[in-house]
Structure 1
């Protein structure tokens, strides 16, 4: 439903508490039957509610309460009259010229209605201006003097937790061995990560015969016999973590060899033929450097 300016002004003045008893009854009747109008009143109460938080309580004089009780018949003491100042004497009547005595007829009802609208919107404008000023003062206090505000509307202190950033661990050392036959071109490239002791074999130029497999071996003076590191797969890269059971000195000083075995690798766990490709590790990336 579309509401006129008068309806909206009535809702605002109801929230302000400036209506007389008849107008308040009219607003409350509309609220009882019109939920949308009730929402307008509640919106004004929400907007103007901040004014109550900015105004402290004022204790009335004792005579005010005694006069209220006397008016409703509950006072035990006689009512004390309020002393009001004498009104000033009225100004002397002015004699209007003859040509001004005949005034045109005025629609009294329209004048009263227009005066009511002007008064109502003047009250609303004054309330909105006061609300804006109060919000501006409250914002300034929140920024510069938060302790001067009531506890309920003080800004909460911000706690910023700064987590210490742990620097990433330095990269581990990397080792590479070119597995080749004599001075020929490399058949495989073996890469070993010092931190994880895992290795990757990259096939470069070697091609296995049908029904045969390439098998990788670790040969060291510290070991009684060659140790198998597994069959090199048919793809370009084969990665395994099987060096974890060996210490670093054994890995770095060992000779890595490739033999040709039957499909699936040596059945005895020992080489069945002489190595055809061999190589030793060299350090390509020192540990702790990028």
Structure 2
């Protein structure tokens, strides 16, 4: 057989460089329980990278084949049994992975990696904070605030173009909730949480992609409680999920979408996916 026939039809140099990126973020509320809607989302939207929060699966039982079969062969996982857990699933190479324990208690709430184009991608699941917005009677609330303060110290030192995505569990603007006055004392929208998140944003001059493309006070929610009999009719939503860009990266963003219809899919998460498109 001639030597030429043994050579691959395509070489690495034949693959065109990536010039556009489509990155999705979704609190899936158990990746194994919601595998059918993850499959549907990937098939319909075809993102280059999917960041998941609240996967609720140890790394050794994560449904990797679901992603491998669709070309997402690069995985960065930080799993935990029954709780928390984050994952980055990518068609593009991931390198220099890292995990921050911003809660300082070993919970799996962050995973990050660098893309070949030079962008650092960070995927985070900030604690919900319990039901009472008072750290003296509710330690979970204090842990949430401390988590964000540690992120703030980290943000102050950032020197590379970074995209941070995930479930921040805070709706910062008055228009980010269905009723500002009704939720002022409800964890996720209290003044102290909003102020703490503002300090995090200012620490790196993060640009909020959600409000860059969907300017306030336009309606924009990413979460609706399971408690509502008809989530769409009551529409008591909150914008808890976010995508923030470093100021040097923000001009490369070309589109941002909130996929609200996913909340009505069969056995849905209470969160919906976000999608950001970037020119790289």
Bucket of the pairwise TM-score, normalised by the shorter protein: under 0.3
Structure with the larger strand share: 2
TM-score by length of 1: 0.19
Relative to total residues, which structure has the larger helix share, 1 or 2?
1
TM-score, normalization by structure 2: 0.20
Larger Rg: 1
